[in-house]
Amino acid sequence: MKKCPFCEVLIAGSKCHLCGRDFKKKNLKNETISRIAINGLKPGNKVRHIKHEKTKWSNFTNGLIHDVSRSGKSVEVIWYNDAGQKIAMGKYDCNAVERIDNQDEI
């Protein structure tokens, strides 16, 4: 097994299951290596919305960072419900989400 150079997860074949890049079809020289946000978040980190206690954002407690902007100031997050189904996707300021260190909360 090898690591995807973009999102740093182990891949078995030629396609990364997290970022969806196919290494046989694309020229990897034109793409940049995985970016890290200003607050240290990177693709693959599990996050929750900073205001998850309020009703408007109560569903945003289980998210996965999909991409980081070039400037590192915003992140693209995919939100999942308790059953593991995708419920939303959005772009947020990196200060609006916080990393979940304890994996038992997910």
The DSSP code sequence of 15-66 is B-TTT--BTTTS-GGGSPP----TTS--TT-EEEETTTTSGGGTTTTSEEEE
The ranges assigned to domains in the chain are 1-33, 35-106
Instruction: Assess whether pLDDT exceeds 90 at residue 7.
Output: no
92 and 74 Cβ atoms separated by less than 8 Å: yes
Cα–Cα distance, 37 to 59 (Å, whole number): 23
Question: For position 106, what pLDDT does the model report?
Answer: 42
Q: Which two tokens stand for residue 42?
A: 């990177």
79 and 91 Cβ atoms separated by less than 8 Å: no
CATH class of 35-106: mainly beta
pTM over 0.75: no
Report the phi/psi class of residue 84: left, alpha or beta, with left for phi > 0 and alpha for psi in -120 to 50: left
46 pLDDT band, cuts 50/70/90, is: very high
What does the pLDDT look like over 53-97, one tens digit per residue? 887 778 888 899 999 988 889 999 999 988 888 999 999 998 999
Q: Which residue has the higher pLDDT, 13 or 54?
A: 54
